[in-house]
Chains A and B, each alone.
Chain A
Amino acid sequence: MHAVFNFVRGPMAGIAFAVFIIGCLYQMASMWRLARKKDAVVFHYFSLFYALRSIIHWMVPFAALNMRRHPVMTGVTFVFHLCLFAVPFFLSSHAILFKESWDVSWAWLPDGIADIMTLAVMGACLFFLGRRIFLREVRYLTTVSDVLILFCVALPFFSGFWAGQQWPGFPVMTLVHMISGEILLMLIPFTRLRHMLFFPVIRGYMGSEFGAVRRARDW
Chain B
Amino acid sequence: MTHRPEQPYEIISDIGVEKGAEKLTPERIREVIRRYLEEEGGARLRVYADTCVHCGLCSDACHFFLSNDREPRFSPAGKVKQALLPILRKKGDVSADFIKRATEIAFTECNLCRRCVMYCPFGIDVAYLMLFVRRLSHKLGVVPQYIQDTAHSHAATMNQMWVREDEWIDTLHWQEEEAREEIPNLRIPLEKEGAEIFYSVIGPEPKFRAQLIYQAAVIMNVAGQDWTMPATPGWDNSDMCMYTGDEEMVARLKKKHFETAMRLKTKRIVMGECGHAFRSVHDVGNRFLGWKMAPVPVTHAIEFYSELFQSRKLRVKRKYDIPVTLHDPCNVVRGGGLHELARYVIHETCSRFVEMHPNREHNYCCGAGGGVINCGPPYTHKRVVGSRVKAEQLAEAAAKGARVVIAPCHNCHGGLEDIIKHYGLDLEVKFLGDIVYASIDKEG
Contact = CB atoms under 8 A, between A and B. Distances in A.
**A/B: CB atoms within 8 Å of each other:** yes
Interface of A: 31-32, 34-35, 37-39, 41-42, 44-45, 54, 58, 64-66, 69-70, 73, 77, 131, 135-143, 146, 192, 194-195, 198-199, 201-203, 205-207, 210, 213-219
Contacts of A207: 123
B56 A44 contact: no
Contact of B123 (A138, A192, A215, A218): A218
Contacts of B52: 192
A214 B48 contact: no
B336 A216 contact: yes
Given A140-B73, A141-B81, A66 B43 contact: no
B124 A215 contact: no
Contacts of B283: 213-214
Interface in B42-81: 42-44, 46-48, 50-57, 59-61, 65, 70, 72-73, 75, 77-78, 81
A131 B123 contact: no
Interface stretch (B113-121, B180-188, B255-263): B113-121
Given A135-B56, A137-B78, 14 more contacts: A35-B42, A35-B43, A65-B118, A66-B60, A138-B54, A194-B51, A199-B122, A202-B51, A202-B124, A210-B117, A213-B293, A214-B334, A217-B118, A218-B117
Question: In the complex, which of the residues B73, B119, B338 has the most CB atoms of chain A within 10 Å of its own CB atom?
Answer: B119
Given A202-B47, A218-B118, A137 B65 contact: yes
Given A69-B60, A140-B72, A39 B123 contact: no
A141 B57 contact: no
A124 to B, nearest CB: 13
B51 A66 contact: no
A66 B57 contact: yes
A77 B55 CA distance: 11
B333 interface: yes
A69 B61 CA distance: 11
Contacts of A201: 47
A201 to B, nearest CB: 7
Q: Top 4 A-B pairs ranked by shortest CB distance?
A: A215-B337, A38-B42, A140-B72, A206-B123
Task: Tell me whether chain A's interface is mostly helix, strand or loop, or mixed.
Answer: helix
A136 B118 contact: no
A180 to B, nearest CB: 20
Given A38-B42, A65-B362, A198 B335 contact: no
Contacts, number: 135
A195 B53 contact: yes
A169 B161 CA distance: 77
Contacts of A137: 56, 59, 65, 70, 72, 75, 78
A34 B118 contact: no
Nearest to A128: B55
Interface of B: 2, 40-44, 46-48, 50-57, 59-61, 65, 70, 72-73, 75, 77-78, 81, 117-119, 121-125, 282-283, 287, 292-293, 333-339, 361-362
B337 A138 contact: no
A146 B121 CA distance: 17
B78 A141 contact: yes
B361 A206 contact: no
A202 B122 contact: yes
Contact of A202 (B48, B57, B61, B70): B48
A217 B292 CA distance: 20
A158 B122 CA distance: 28
Contact of A66 (B54, B61, B81): B61
Contact of A38 (B41, B51, B118, B122): B41
Nearest to A38: B42
Contact of B72 (A58, A64, A141): A141
B118 A192 contact: no
Question: In the complex, which of the residues B47, B65, B361 has the most CB atoms of chain A within 10 Å of its own CB atom?
Answer: B47
Contacts of B293: 213
A189 to B, nearest CB: 11
Nearest to A45: B292
B334 A216 contact: yes
B47 to A, nearest CB: 5
Question: In the complex, which of the residues A136, A140, A194, A203 has the most CB atoms of chain B within 10 Å of its own CB atom?
Answer: A140
B54 A146 contact: yes
Contact of A138 (B56, B121, B334, B339): B56
Contacts of B46: 31, 34
